Structure 1
Amino acid sequence: MTGLHGKFYWNELMTRSAEKALAFYGETLGWSFSEFPGPTGGRYWIAMDGDDLPAGGIFEMTGPEYDGVPEHWLAYVAVDDVDGRVGMTTSNGGKLLRPPVDVTGVGRIAIVADINGAALGLITPAIGDALMDDDDDDFDDGE
């Protein structure tokens, strides 16, 4: 995790109308989408840019747990240990918004708020350091 820790890793749109968001971002940015089952049920889309590279995710907020939550983009930062970093967040005045959960093929995630209330996703990616060199921050090209 040396190369990924502390770096922004993933962006996710949390919306109430995935249909409108898919149409908007498809037309505005030229993204295409692949649908998957959501990590906690529901539906989830991976947005792909023109080169079919992942650009981010789109999650449709449904259910009473999202009442009062505005639509927003949520950034995830890669960390070495989600559970440990959640503990550090709360001991330093932040709050836990969503407890850690394992997402198959993705990693372990949690959502926290900093001391000022700004939300941030934390993720320990399932890939770990496998794609990263320990010496630099570039992806390992296998050589």
Structure 2
Amino acid sequence: MAPHGKFYWNELMTDDVERAKAFYGATLGWTFDAMPMEGERTYYVAMLGEEAVAGMMDKTDLLPPTVPPHWFSYINVDKLDARLKLLEENGGHVIRAPFEVPGIGWIAIVADPTGAPMGWMTAAD
């Protein structure tokens, strides 16, 4: 089981996936595995050798154009529903209700009391 309370995954939301792939490949030595998603969207898993180290996807149709490209982090939690109750009791709020990503786990998009967004997830084993 993934450890509770640790950053678990990071993904780049960008408007230019090919440029980002070229940059991270040249500077960090990452290669990329394409994972088709629903519709015509593709998610790219950044690999460092045999290890998956990050994700990348085009944000063009997901976020308003005023949102700049950015890295988005996910923190693993032991029991997502229980932790979301604590989040709200302590001044945070749920931006997107929990949803399942098959084979990955359950994810909710949340914000802390300062407004900082992140993903909280209970990873699948």
TM-score by length of 2: 0.89
Give the residue type in structure 1 aligned to 2:86. M
Q: Distance in 2 between matches of 1:75 and 1:98?
A: 15
Q: Distance in 1 between matches of 2:38 and 2:3?
A: 22
Give the residue type in structure 2 aligned to 1:95. H
Check 1:122–1:39 CA distance in 2 against 1; reply closer, same or farther (3 A cut).
Answer: farther
Q: Residue 66 of structure 1 is aligned with which of 63, 66, 69?
A: 63
Contact 1:8 1:76 (C-alpha < 8 Å) held by counterparts:
yes
Matched ranges for 1:1-143 at <5 A: 1=1, 4-38=3-37, 42-49=41-48, 51-63=49-61, 65-67=62-64, 68-127=66-125
Deviations 1:88-120 (A, max 9, x none): 222211122222110011000111110111111
Structure having the higher strand fraction is: 2
Q: Distance in 2 between matches of 1:21 and 1:93?
A: 35
- Cα deviation for residue 38 of structure 1 reads 3.2
- Cα deviation for residue 8 of structure 1 reads 1.1
- Cα deviation for residue 41 of structure 1 reads 6.2
Match of 1:138 in 2: none
The number of equivalent residue pairs is 124
Q: Which structure 2 residue ranges, 5 or more long, are not aligned?
A: none
CA RMSD of aligned residues (A): 1.8
- Cα deviation for residue 70 of structure 1 reads 2.2
Give the residue type in structure 2 aligned to 1:100. P
CA radius of gyration, larger in: 1
Counterpart of 2:4 in 1: which secondary structure?
A: coil
Q: Distance in 2 between matches of 1:6 and 1:40?
A: 32
Residue identity (%): 46
Counterpart of 2:113 in 1: which secondary structure?
A: coil
